[in-house]
Amino acid sequence: MRLHEDEGEQAFRLTVREFVQTNLPADIRERVLGFQRVEKDDYLRWQRILHAHGWGAPGWPVAEGGMGWSPMERVIFDEECLTAGAPRQLPTGVAMIGPVLIRYGTPRQKACFLSPILSGEHTWCQGYSEPGAGSDLASLSLRAVRDGDDYVLDGQKTWTSYAQWADWMFCLVRTRREGKPQAGISFLLVDMKSPGVTVSPIRSIDESSDLNEVFLDSVRVPAHLLIGEENAGWEIAKFLLGNERATIAGLGACRRLLSQCQRLVSQPPRDPRLADRLVHLEIELLAHEWSLRRFLAGGDECLFEPANASLLKVRGSEIQQGLSTLLMDWAASASTQHVELLSRVYFDLRKISIFGGTNEVQRSLIAKSLGV
Give the pLDDT score at 295.
Answer: 84
pLDDT number for residue 298: 82
Contact between 56 and 119 under an 8 Å Cβ cutoff? The reply is yes
Nearest to 94 by CA among 63, 70, 75, 66: 66
3-state secondary structure 274-310: HHHHHHHHHHHHHHHHHHHHHHHCCHHHHHCCHHHHH
- For residues 105 and 135, the answer to whether their CB atoms sit within 8 Å is no
Same CATH topology for 124-233 and 249-369? no
Q: Is residue 139 a contact partner of residue 129, using CB atoms and an 8 Å limit? A: no
CA quadruple 84, 87, 92, 98: dihedral positive or negative? negative
Q: Where are the domains of the chain?
A: 7-89, 124-233, 249-369
Maximum CA pair distance of the chain? 70
Q: Check: CB of residue 371 under 8 Å from CB of residue 364.
A: no
- Please choose, from the candidates 173, 211, 171, 166, the residue with its C-alpha nearest in 3D space to the C-alpha of residue 192: 166
Look up the pTM and report it: 0.89
Beta strands in 137-204 (DSSP E): 143-147, 150-157, 168-174, 185-191, 197-202
Q: How far is CA 348 from CA 188, 200, 228, 343, in A?
A: 29, 19, 35, 8
Rg (CA), the chain: 21
Q: What is the CATH number of domain 124-233?
A: 2.40.110.10
CATH superfamily of 249-369: Butyryl-CoA Dehydrogenase, subunit A, domain 3 (1.20.140.10)
Q: Are 359 and 317 in contact (CB under 8 A)?
A: yes
Residue 297: the pLDDT is: 81
Q: Can you tell me the distance from the alpha carbon of 296 to that of 303, in angstroms, rounded to the nearest whole number?
A: 6
Q: What's the confidence (pLDDT) of residue 356?
A: 80
Within 8 A by CB and 6+ apart from 334, the residues are: 264, 267, 269
CA–CA distances in Å: residue 313 to residues 97, 248, 316, 354:
19, 6, 5, 10
**β-pair partners for 125:** 169
Amino acid of residue 337: Q
Q: Measured at the alpha carbon of residue 358, what is the angle toward residues 251 and 208, in degrees to the nearest 5?
A: 75
Entry field: residues in the chain: 372
- Tell me the C-alpha to C-alpha distance, in Å, between residue 210 and each of 85, 131, 234, 235, 254: 21, 17, 26, 28, 21
231-266 burial: b if 16+ Cβ within 10 Å, else e: ebbbebbebbbbbbbbbbbbbbbbbbbbbbbeebbe
Active site residues: 244
Distance CA(113)–CA(203), nearest Å, equals 31
Give the per-residue pLDDT at 338: 78
> Alpha carbon of 70 to those of 73, 75, 189, 255, 289: distances in Å?
5, 9, 29, 20, 16
Render each residue's pLDDT in the chain as its tens digit; 372 residues: 566 788 999 999 999 999 999 999 999 999 999 999 999 999 999 999 999 999 999 989 999 999 989 888 988 999 999 999 999 999 899 999 999 999 999 999 999 999 999 999 999 999 999 999 988 899 999 999 999 999 999 999 999 999 999 999 999 999 999 999 999 999 999 999 999 999 999 998 888 889 999 999 999 999 999 999 999 999 999 899 877 766 666 888 999 999 999 988 888 778 899 999 999 999 999 999 988 888 888 877 787 788 888 888 899 999 999 999 999 999 887 766 678 888 889 999 998 898 888 889 889 989 988 886
Would you state the pLDDT for residue 255? 93
